[in-house]
Amino acid sequence: MARRILFAVHDWGLGHATRSLVLIRALLERGDAVTILMAESPGLALLRTELGDACEFHEYEDLPKPFSRYPAIFYLRMSLAVPRVWLRFELEQRLTERLVRARRIDVVVSDSRSASGRARCRATASFIRCARSFPGGPHGSSAPWSARSGTC
């Protein structure tokens, strides 16, 4: 049975988009309808180029990116950006909840989008979080998926 899937992808760099591209293609091949939630970025451009109109795309404003060549400056800038980061998390969470209700989403897949995964929509949609895990790493497993409230 085809499911309606909201796939939230983190936009920092191309790694999240390329990892998600493989999963999204597999979902589309199964006949699932996929809506991609991602900020405007090179990663979103890649997904649009590769997937065309096979998916619906929903853009939003992303987290502040206080990048710096120097770690100390990055941590200082990121610390100063915490209030804006929390606001973006709250707005993304609300957006995810609205999309789940409006599009009758069955499954939310989140590739490093913490706010999309925290949305209070678990009564109507399952949630799956893509996570990088390395043997002996902080998650103690080499499994590429961390699932809550359902499976992919």
By the 8 A CB rule, do 7 and 112 touch? Answer: no
CB of 76 within 8 A of CB of 97?
no
What is the rounded distance in angstroms from the CA atom of residue 124 to the CA atom of residue 15? 30
The model's pLDDT over 91-104, given as tens digits with 9 standing for 90+, comes to 888 888 999 999 99
The contacts of residue 141 (CB under 8 Å, 6+ apart) are 133, 135
What confidence tier does 90 reach under pLDDT thresholds 50, 70, 90? confident
pLDDT at 75 over 50: yes
- How far, CA to CA in Å, does 8 sit from each of 39, 77, 80, 137? 10, 25, 26, 24
Residue 34's pLDDT is: 96
State the CATH number of the domain containing residue 33: 3.40.50.2000
Domain that holds residue 98: 4-148
Count: domains in the chain: 1
Q: Which of 86, 113, 87 lies closest to 10, judged by CA?
A: 113
Backbone angles phi, psi at 50, to 5 degrees: -75, -35
Q: Where do the DSSP E strands lie in 10-149? A: 33-37, 56-58, 107-111, 126-130, 145-148
pLDDT at residue 21, as a whole number: 94
Measured in degrees and rounded to the nearest 5, phi and psi for residue 7 equal: -110, 105
Evaluate if pTM is beyond 0.85. Answer: no
19-33, 85-99, 100-114: the lowest-pLDDT one = 100-114
